[in-house]
Chains A and B, each alone.
Chain A
Amino acid sequence: MTDTAFKGEVNLDAWLDRHHVKRVRTMATDLDGFALGKYCAREKFTKGLPIGHNLADVALGSDSESTPHLGFWHSFRRSVLGDIALTPDLSTLVPDGHDPDLGQVICDFTFLDGRPISLCPRTKLKQQVQKLDDLGLSVKCTFELEFFLYDNSFDDAERKQYQNLSPIGASPLQTIYLLKDSFRAVTFMNQVLTRLEAYGIPWEAWNDENGMGQIELNLVPDEPVVMADRVVRTKQIIFETAIELGLSTTFMAHPQPGFSNGMHIHHSLLRAGDPQFYDEGAPLHRSQLLRHWLAGLVTTMPATVSYLCPSVNSYRRLREFAAPPVTATWGEENKSTGIRLICDGPKTARIEHRVGAGDLNPYHALAAILAGGLTGLAAKREPPPEFTDLAWGIPASVERLPSDIMTAARTLDACEALKQELVVEDVEYWIKSRRHEWMTFHRAGNDPDSPVPGLWEYQRYFAVS
Chain B
Amino acid sequence: MAQTLSVLTQSNAAPMELNLARILRTSLRQADGHYLAGLPDNLIVKDTKTRQKLRLVVDPKTGITISRAGKSDTALVEGQFDPFNGAPLSFELRGAWRKPLLKRRLMRLFQPKLTPWQTAAENFYNASNLLDPNEFTIESYSQDTDTRHRWGQGPEQALVLGSAATLSHLYNGYALLIDDILKGRIQCQASMRTIAIITDATTDQWMDLQ
Contact = CB atoms under 8 A, between A and B. Distances in A.
Given A447-B50, A447-B52, A449-B68, A442 B196 contact: no
A70 B199 contact: yes
Given A70-B178, A77-B192, A435-B203, 4 more contacts: A77-B193, A79-B192, A80-B192, A442-B16
Nearest to B182: A70
A456 interface: no
Given A403-B12, A407-B12, A448-B12, A70 B195 contact: yes
Interface of B: 11-16, 49-50, 52, 68, 83-84, 176-178, 191-197, 199-200, 203
Contact of A443 (B11, B84, B195): B84
Nearest to B68: A449
A439 interface: yes
A445 B52 CA distance: 9
Interface residues of A, number: 25
B12 A432 contact: no
A73 interface: yes
A80 B190 CA distance: 9
Contact of A72 (B11, B14, B52, B199): B199
B191 A70 contact: no
Contact of B12 (A77, A404, A435, A446): A404
Contacts of A396: none
A445 B47 CA distance: 10
A439 B178 CA distance: 13
Contacts of A403: 12
Contacts of B176: 71
Interface of A is mostly: loop
Interface of A: 69-73, 77-81, 403-404, 406-407, 432, 435, 438-439, 442-443, 445-449
A73 B193 contact: yes
Contacts of B178: 70-71
A425 to B, nearest CB: 13
B196 A72 contact: yes
B84 A70 contact: no
27 contacts: A70-B192, A70-B196, A71-B177, A71-B178, A72-B196, A72-B197, A72-B199, A72-B203, A73-B197, A73-B200, A77-B193, A78-B192, A79-B194, A81-B192, A404-B12, A406-B12, A407-B11, A435-B203, A438-B15, A439-B84, A442-B15, A442-B16, A442-B83, A442-B84, A443-B84, A445-B49, A445-B50
Nearest to A79: B191
B15 A439 contact: yes
Contact of B196 (A73, A404, A438): A73
A439 B13 CA distance: 11
Contact of A80 (B13, B68, B191, B200): B191
A71 B12 contact: no
A435 B202 CA distance: 13
Contacts of B191: 79-80
A357 to B, nearest CB: 17
B197 to A, nearest CB: 5
Nearest to A81: B192
B200 to A, nearest CB: 4
